[in-house]
Amino acid sequence: MPGPVKLSCRNLWKVYGPDPARFFVGTNDAPDALAQKMRTGGHMPAAIDVGFDVHVGETFVIMGLSGSGKSTVVRCLSRLIEPDHGQVLLDGQDLLAKSDRELIEIRRHKMGMVFQNFGLLPHLNVIENISFPLRLQGLSAEKQRARAAHVIELVGLTGREHSYPSQLSGGQQQRVGIARSLAVEPELWLLDEPFSALDPLIRRQMQDEFLRIQRVLKKSIVFITHDFLEALRIADRMAIMRDGRIVQIGTPEELILNPVDDYVAQFTGEVPRIKILRAHQCVVAMPGRPDGLPQVAPDDRIEGLLPKLAASPAGLDVLGPSGVYLGTVTAASLVETLGRAESAHPSQVAHG
């Protein structure tokens, strides 16, 4: 399923302090040992040996507690922060080797970024903010207007073109931020906690908008959040960071079902199991079942099957890839699996 790799981040380090370079000279230390050396040497390693790939059209989420280094990593990807070590490959080309001029060209055409506090220019109105990157490129007014109008419609801001940021709600301001980052038609889309400054209700609504836009545009995305439920909703794959290191990478289900340690389990522990269980995990064999039960795929999420189950109290047949009968989901089997899953340690569910 994954397409070609769009962005690849390898052994990336960012170290704050007076002289980070000296730690990388002729060292064979393991990353953790090296990081410890830096800390005792009065330096602050904010990103430690970070590595991951983002595939074309994939939404890759990085999550972690405050201060774990998420913003640092995402800024290293666009060189808003200059990494101290490692590689960032965009379409196979090392970004860290680019000159300032080349970097500006890449930012103008290939990258878009959305910020937690929106980063709107207070003296420009909506349409001017959105066409700002186009204006910097020196596009004609005609083209600017056409492209801005397109993204304004995409984010649902039609009618507010001439408002100023101070006249907009937080949710609307972030729509402007999103539209601006999309105006250059970037291939790589970076979002640093875009919805964290918003109320829970608006946040939920914006996540839906985000998913809708992504279904249309299919960008390659790096999305930062500290909210696991948000990650669960939008991530194809995700990484969990702790104190500058990535502790685990995988699909949300993998992290929930097989957390590598208690730190990851703490994030995933809060998630209601019904959000992650899939049909094949809740089946019972029912030889004498009535014919003509609705059929569902084994990977369907249980949460989405609930209305169907309500309409068909006798159960739902789960059929494998070649039409093999795997079992039936019934109200009783569902409740039983859920009960087992909620009470057990998450890592046992997969085996249970």
Partner 1 sequence: MAEPSKAQTSDRKSLLIWILVLLSVLVLAQWQSSLPDLKSYPAAWTLPATDWLNTGMDWVVGAFKPVFRALSAVMEYPLFWVSGFLGWLPWSVGTVIAVIIGYRAGAWPLAAFTGGSILYILLMGLWPDTMNSLALVAVSVPLAVLLGFGLGVAGYYSPRVERFLTPVMDITQTVPAFAYLLPILILFGFGPVVGLIAGIIFAFPPMVKNTIIGLRDVPSDIIESGLMSGATKGQLFFLVRARAGLRQILLGVNQTTMAALNMIIVASIIGGSEDIGWRVLSTLRKAEFGESLVAGIVIALMAMVLDRITYGLATRAPDMSPQQGFFGRHQFGLTVMGAAALTYLAALGLPDLQTWPDDWTVDPAGGLNFGIEVFVLWAKPVLDSVKNFIIFTLVLPLKIGLVNVVGPYTWGFTATVWHAVGYAALVAAGSGLAFWRGRRGQAITIVSFGLIMFFGLTNLTWPGASLLLIWFGFRSGGARLAFWTLAALVFILSTGSYDKAILSVQLCGLAVAASFLIGTGLGIAAAQSDPFSRILRPINDTLQTMPVFVLLIPVIMIFKIGEFSALLAIIAYAVVAPIRYTEYGLRNVSKDVIEAATSMGATRSQLLWRVKVPLAMPNIMLGLNQAIMFGISMLVVTALVGTDELGQIIYIGLSKGNFGIGFVAGMAMAVIALLADQYCRAWQKRIDAKLKGARP
Ligand X SMILES: Nc1ncnc2c1ncn2[C@@H]1O[C@H](COP(=O)(O)OP(=O)(O)OP(=O)(O)O)[C@@H](O)[C@H]1O
222 near partner 1, judged by CB under 8 A: no
Residue 72 or 248 with smaller CB distance to partner 1? 72
Tally of CB atoms within 10 A around 221: 24
Single out the segment in contact with ligand X by CB under 6 A; choices: 19-27, 67-75, 125-133, 174-182.
67-75
> Which residue number, 68 or 337, has a Cβ lying nearer to ligand X?
68
Q: Which of residues 60-99 bind Mg ion (CB under 5 A)?
A: 71
Binding residues for partner 1, rule CB under 8 A, total 33
Smaller CB separation from Mg ion, 71 or 173: 71
d(CA 239, CA 248): 6
- Please enumerate in sequence order all residues whose Cβ is within 8 A of that of 83, keeping only pairs 6 or more positions apart, or say none: 12, 13, 14, 47, 76, 96
242 binds ligand X (CB under 6 A): no
Verify binding: residue 72, ligand X, rule CB under 6 A. yes
Residue number with CB closer to ligand X (71 or 174): 71
What part of residues 20-79 is at the interface with partner 1 (CB under 8 A)?
Answer: 75, 78
Structure tokens, 137: 């490129």
3-state helix, strand, coil in the chain (%, to 5): 45, 20, 35
State yes or no: residue 71 binds ligand X (CB under 6 A): yes
In sequence order, which residues have a C-beta less than 8 Å from that of residue 17 and are 6 or more positions away? Answer: 38, 41, 42, 43, 44
Q: Is 172 in the site for Mg ion (CB under 5 A)?
A: no
Which of 96, 115, 205, 217 forms a contact with partner 1 (CB under 8 A)? 115
State which of positions 81-110 bind partner 1 (CB under 8 A): 104-105, 107-109
From the list partner 1, ligand X, Mg ion, none, which binds 315 (C-beta under 5 to 8 Å, kind-based)? none
CA 260/CA 36 separation, integer angstroms: 22
For helices 200-217 and 170-183, give the axis angle rounded to 10 degrees.
20
Check binding of 225 to ligand X (CB under 6 A): no
- Which residues is 47 bridged to in the sheet? 14
CA distance 12 to 49: 5
Angle at 122 between CA 139 and CA 76, to 5 degrees: 70
| Least Cβ distance, residue 101 to partner 1 (angstroms) | 8
Three-state SS at 139 = coil
Quickly tell me which residue has 């290191």 as its tokens: 245
**What is the contact surface with partner 1 in residues (CB under 8 A)?**
75, 78, 80, 104-105, 107-109, 111-113, 115-123, 125, 132-133, 136-137, 162, 164, 167, 177, 180-181, 184, 190
